[in-house]
Amino acid sequence: MKLSVIAGARPNFMKIAPIMWEIARRPGVTAQLVHTGQHYDEKMSKLFFEQLQIPKPNIDLEVGSGSHAVQTAEVMKRFEPVVLEQKPDAVIVVGDVNSTIACAMTAVKLGVPVAHVEAGLRSFDRTMPEEINRLLTDAISDWLFVSEPSGIENLKKEGTDPKRVFFVGNVMIDTLVACRDRFSAAGGLDAFGVRPNEYVVLTLHRPANVDDPAVFGGLIRAIEAVQRDLPIVFPVHPRTRKIMAAQSTHLPNVKLVEPLGYLEFMNLVSNARFVMTDSGGIQEETTFLGVPCLTLRNNTERPSTVDQGTNVLVGLDPDRIIAAAQTAVRADRSAHRVPELWDGRASERIIDVLTR
């Protein structure tokens, strides 16, 4: 069996890593790794390949940044000849970025079946570009690999044939389980001058949060208040850095740092008092680790992190965020459950299904 595995943007890399490790263990299964180049900075891409021991991509489409239409179209244009030449038996796409839908659509139209890993997640917010990517990718994929029960329900309500749906667990947690022993050696806390359990980790990059100055200004006001009580370590996404450069802020207790590698970041998260984020994946990682997470959004496509995990949706209102941060400082770390099948073996189940 010859597979083509797609990696495009940072949150894809920790999802494809365990799939590539699993394929390497299986006799008779081979994979071409295609990097679309959606993320290209060393700290947004190459560092993850090194730390997660992902083989060097066989092909780099080097699409780079662009508007949604330009980026998606460019991936499709450059991926089509690759599929025609490689003739894979199936294409594996993960997550919900532009590269995910672009490669899925290209493959399906050439008659190559597609497996979508992390299928069925829905925020029910169609203003989010990722929600459109999720809906479209699920509609055209042949295998839908689901990470939490809400995914099964959502796909059922959309009329999806249950024979296409497989509840396999969470590949990102596979990576976490496999790398966990290496987190503490990655360091980082001393470099940022913080002590375990006495700081907050912050990430912000959603267009809806950072691109609108009124929303972003409100978030900065909340961050100003939180940092008076606890230092904040804030690895800044390139999109957010551009916006911050244009804002005047007074954040003396916030350490603004470059995007971090997987191991350093996970070490910081594991030791944090709590995390504030608008990322999707970090909601799941904090749930697994039992670290309180305040999600700076009005919705989540990952409800099991709220129902069972440590996640609280705090929205974008500064006063609500400040109040939630005061509660999180006192949160009980033991009061959480790890969702079903988040056990480090999702990739194994995926390759089992595909080889069957």
Residue placing its CB nearer to ligand UD1 in the complex, 35 or 336: 35
Which of 30, 53, 65, 197 lies at the binding interface for ligand UD1 (CB under 6 A)? 65
Q: Is 40 in the site for ligand UD1 (CB under 6 A)?
A: yes
Q: Is 10 in the site for ligand UD1 (CB under 6 A)?
A: yes
Q: Is 158 in the site for ligand UD1 (CB under 6 A)?
A: no
Which of 35, 134, 205, 336 lies at the binding interface for ligand UD1 (CB under 6 A)? 205
Q: Is 9 in the site for ligand UD1 (CB under 6 A)?
A: yes
| Bridge partners, residue 294, by sequence | 276, 312
Q: Is 113 in the site for ligand UD1 (CB under 6 A)?
A: no
CB of 1 to ligand UD1, least distance (A): 28
Whether 68 sits among the annotated catalytic residues: the reply is no
Q: Is 29 in the site for ligand UD1 (CB under 6 A)?
A: no
Amino acid at site 98: N
Tokens standing for residue 108: 């399906």
| Bridge partners, residue 7, by sequence | 35
Which stretch, 9-17, 167-175, 288-296, 344-352, contacts ligand UD1 (CB under 6 A)? 9-17
Q: Is 44 in the site for ligand UD1 (CB under 6 A)?
A: yes
Q: Is 14 in the site for ligand UD1 (CB under 6 A)?
A: no
Q: Are the C-beta atoms of 144 and 166 separated by less than 8 Å? A: yes
Q: Is 97 in the site for ligand UD1 (CB under 6 A)?
A: yes
Which of 38, 227, 295, 310 lies at the binding interface for ligand UD1 (CB under 6 A)? 38
Backbone angles phi, psi at 259, to 5 degrees: -55, 140
Q: Is 238 in the site for ligand UD1 (CB under 6 A)?
A: yes
Which of 239, 251, 290, 315 lies at the binding interface for ligand UD1 (CB under 6 A)? 239
Q: Is 39 in the site for ligand UD1 (CB under 6 A)?
A: yes
Q: Does residue 15 sit in helix, strand or coil?
A: helix
Q: Is 11 in the site for ligand UD1 (CB under 6 A)?
A: yes
CB of 95 to ligand UD1, least distance (A): 7
Residue placing its CB nearer to ligand UD1 in the complex, 239 or 320: 239
Give the integer Cα–Cα distance in Å for 85 and 159: 34
Among 120, 177, 165, 161, which residue's Cα sits nearest to residue 303? 120
Which stretch, 14-22, 33-41, 285-293, 319-327, contacts ligand UD1 (CB under 6 A)? 33-41
- Give the N- to C-terminal CA distance of the chain in Å, as an integer: 11
Selecting among 205, 237, 250, 336, the annotated active-site residue is 205
Q: Is 41 in the site for ligand UD1 (CB under 6 A)?
A: yes
Q: Is 130 in the site for ligand UD1 (CB under 6 A)?
A: yes
Which stretch, 3-11, 80-88, 139-147, 218-226, contacts ligand UD1 (CB under 6 A)? 3-11
Alpha helices in the chain (DSSP H): 10-25, 46-51, 68-86, 98-109, 129-140, 149-157, 171-179, 207-210, 213-226, 238-245, 262-270, 281-289, 304-307, 318-329, 346-355
CB of 244 to ligand UD1, least distance (A): 13
HSE, side-chain direction, 13 A CA sphere, residue 355: 15
Give the integer Cα–Cα distance in Å for 282 and 148: 15
Tokens standing for residue 319: 């006063």
Give the integer Cα–Cα distance in Å for 13 and 286: 18
Q: Is 98 in the site for ligand UD1 (CB under 6 A)?
A: yes
Give the integer Cα–Cα distance in Å for 336 and 333: 7
Tokens standing for residue 2: 């010859």
CB of 71 to ligand UD1, least distance (A): 6
Q: Left, alpha or beta for 4 (phi > 0: left; psi -120 to 50: alpha)? A: beta
Residues making contact with ligand UD1 (CB under 6 A): 9-11, 38-41, 44, 65, 96-98, 129-130, 205, 237-239
